[in-house]
Amino acid sequence: MKTKFRYVLVRSTTSLGTIDEHEFSKGLMHYIGATNYFKANPRVVKNIDGNSFIMKVSLSGYSALIVALALMKHVSGKECGFFTIYASGTLKALGKHIGTPGTETHSKSSNDVDNFANNNNI
């Protein structure tokens, strides 16, 4: 049976470049739980700009990821917040929400997301 995924558009208060990716994953695992982390398998698939990125998570771990992002307020010793702006089953639907207030970008990121989706057959 095909595994279903959710793509989540996340906006953070600090730039993702200043956050250690390993620490970010550790934080997610802390709130999702080590035994459920492998089922959810959350990962960052696209960094839109410094503060906005897209995560991919399995449908069964979707609620756990939303809660984990809500509860996670410290990463790499820095205070930060993560806001889940939109969630969808496809990347193309997320592309429409990039550029809403709070997710402004400096590049043609909506086209970038569409190109990423097409190149990866999503």
Partner 1 sequence: MDYYDIVMDSCSFPSGFEHALGFKRVFVSGRDFEPANTDKGEDAKGRLAIGHSSKNLLHAARRFAVAVVPMNLGLDRAFIETLRENSTILIIPLSVTYGASSDFALSTNMHLASKMLAYANKRKVRVGFATMARSFEHMESYMQLIELAKLIGASEDEARQGISLAGDLFGK
Q: How far is the CB of 8 from partner 1 (least distance, A)?
A: 9
CA angle 97, 25, 80 (to 5 degrees): 60
Between 95 and 120, whose beta carbon lies closer to partner 1? 95
Give the chain's radius of gyration (CA, Å).
14
The footprint of partner 1 (CB under 8 A) covers 11, 13, 63, 66-67, 69-71, 73, 79-81, 83-85, 87, 100-103
**Paired strand residues for 9:** 54, 86
Cα distance between residue 3 and residue 23, in whole Å? 27
Between 19 and 85, whose beta carbon lies closer to partner 1? 85
Q: How far is the CB of 102 from partner 1 (least distance, A)?
A: 3
Cα distance between residue 26 and residue 49, in whole Å? 22
Cα distance between residue 63 and residue 103, in whole Å? 22
Dihedral, CA atoms, 15, 17, 18, 20, nearest 10 degrees?
A: 120
Between 45 and 52, whose beta carbon lies closer to partner 1? 52
Q: How far is the CB of 108 from partner 1 (least distance, A)?
A: 19
Between 59 and 70, whose beta carbon lies closer to partner 1? 70
Q: How far is the CB of 112 from partner 1 (least distance, A)?
A: 19
